[in-house]
Amino acid sequence: MTATDAAQLTADLIRCPSVTPTEGGALVLLEKQLSAAGFDCARVDRGEVSNLFARWGDKGHAKTFGFNGHTDVVPVGDEAAWTADPFGAEIREGIMFGRGATDMKSGVAAFAAAAIDFVSNTPPEGAIILTITGDEEGDAVDGTTALLEYLDTENERMSVCLVGEPTCPNEMGEMMKIGRRGSLTAYFTFTGIQGHSAYPHRAKNPLPAMARLMDRLSSHTLDAGTDHFDASTLAVVTMDTGNPATNVIPAECRATVNIRFNDVHSGASLTDWMQKLVDEVADDSGVESGMAVKISGESFITPPGPLSDLVAAAVQAETGRTPELSTSGGTSDARFVKNHCPVVEFGLVGKTMHKVDENVPVAQIHQLKDIYSRILTEYFA
C-alpha cells in the first residue's frame, strides 16, 4: 500500500480556511480519508462547532490508543504582513507556510497518516481512536468536551491519549508535556461616588482602593513551585476607568488579573483567597465591590510512567534527543482529556505558532509521523 503523505495532508488541511469556529472543510477531508481506511467515523457537532470522532478496531477494546488534536486556527491578522498566502500551503526551500502549519494541522496530519498506515499495513490487536475538534482556539466549550461526552454516552474508551500540540521550544524532540498549569482570570469592579477632583471629600474614589488590591495581589508569592511545576504566577493585565477628564473623580474602576497556577492550588482556593482580599480592601475604603472569575482549566499531571516512557523512547529513537518532561506553557485540550484517561502531549517546534508567516519544515512533518508510527508499533507490540 502507498504510504500516506503527511506533508501533503498538512497542505490540504492548511488550504481549508478553518478559522475558529468555521469548519472550512478540514474535518470533511479527514473523515473522507479515515473512512476510506476503515475507520468508523461520526461527526459530533455541537452549537457552531464541528468535531470528528474516528475509531478503527473493536469498540470498547481494553487496549485502545487515542490521539487528540484540532483543525481550527486563529485569525490571520494583518494579511498584508504575510509573505505567503495564509491558506496557500506554499513551500519555499523545504518550509511550508500557512495558518495552522505549526498549530496544529501538521500534528493532526501526522497522527492521522500514522494511524491510517499502521492499521492498513499491520492491523493491531486493539483499537485506535482519533478525536479532532474545531474549537481548541476558541472558547473550548463545544469541542473536546463534546467529544469526551460522546465517548461516555457511546461507551467508547481510550486507554491512553496523545495530544499532538507543538511542544518543542527550539529543536525537534527536546520536550514533551506531562501536565499543564491551571489558568484563571479574575475580573474586579470597585464602585464609589463620582465627583469634582477639586472637592475629593465630596466623592468616593475607587481608584486608590483598586490600586491597593492590585498591589496586594501582585506582590504576594503564591508558591515556590513543586516537583513537576514552576512557581505559580499572577499578572495584572488591565486597570482602567474609561475616564477622559482630569477634573472628574470617576465612580467606577475595573481591573483584570490572570493566574497560571500549579498543583499547590485549585481554582476554588485561589478564588476564595482573592475574595478575602477584595472584601478587606472594600471594607477599609468604603467602596462597593464585585468579582467574577473564569477558570479555564485546573492544573494536572500524568505522573512519569509507562505512557511518558513510551513516547520518550520513540522520540529518542527518531530524533536522538530524550525529551524533557515538562508542564510549562499555556493550556491545551489535554486539560479535558485527563479526566478520561492518562494523557501526554508531543508535537512539533512551536516557534511560529499564531505568528505572521507561520511555517513548518516539511522534513519535520515526516519526522513527526515517524515518531507517531513508532509509538503505535511499540504500544501494540
Distances in Å between the Cα of 320 and the Cα atoms of 110, 172, 263, 312, 372 are 19, 10, 32, 10, 15
Q: What is the rounded CA–CA span in Å between residue 9 and residue 36?
A: 14
Q: Is 136 a catalytic residue?
A: yes
Residue extents of the structural domains in the chain: 6-180+300-379, 182-297
**For the chain, first and last CA: distance in Å?**
21
Give the residue among 201, 185, 211, 205 at the shortest CA–CA distance from 252.
205
Catalytic annotation, pick one of 12, 31, 135, 136: 136
Catalytic annotation, pick one of 12, 72, 142, 318: 72
Q: Which pLDDT belongs to residue 304?
A: 96
Alpha helices in 18-157 (DSSP H): 26-36, 105-121, 144-153
User: Tell me: the pLDDT tens digits for 285-311?
Assistant: 999 999 999 999 999 999 999 999 999
Q: What is the pTM of this model?
A: 0.90
Q: Which pLDDT belongs to residue 331?
A: 87
Q: Is 48 a catalytic residue?
A: no
CATH 1.10.3720.10 is right for the domain spanning 182-297: no
The fold of 6-180+300-379 is Aminopeptidase (3.40.630)
Estimate to the nearest angstrom the gap between the alpha carbon of 336 and the chain centroid: 10
Q: What is the rounded CA–CA span in Å between residue 73 and residue 201?
A: 52
**Three cell numbers written together for 84:** 505567503
Q: Which pLDDT belongs to residue 1?
A: 62
Q: Which pLDDT belongs to residue 207?
A: 97
Q: Which pLDDT belongs to residue 329?
A: 85
User: DSSP class of residue 300?
Assistant: E
Q: Which pLDDT belongs to residue 189?
A: 98
Q: What is the rounded CA–CA span in Å between residue 348 and residue 103?
A: 9
Q: Which pLDDT belongs to residue 117?
A: 98
- Mean pLDDT per 10-residue segment, the chain (381 residues): 92 98 97 98 96 97 97 97 98 98 98 98 96 94 96 97 97 97 97 97 97 98 95 97 96 98 97 98 97 95 96 98 94 94 97 97 98 98 94
User: Tell me: the pLDDT tens digits for 129-159?
Assistant: 999 999 999 888 999 999 999 999 999 999 9
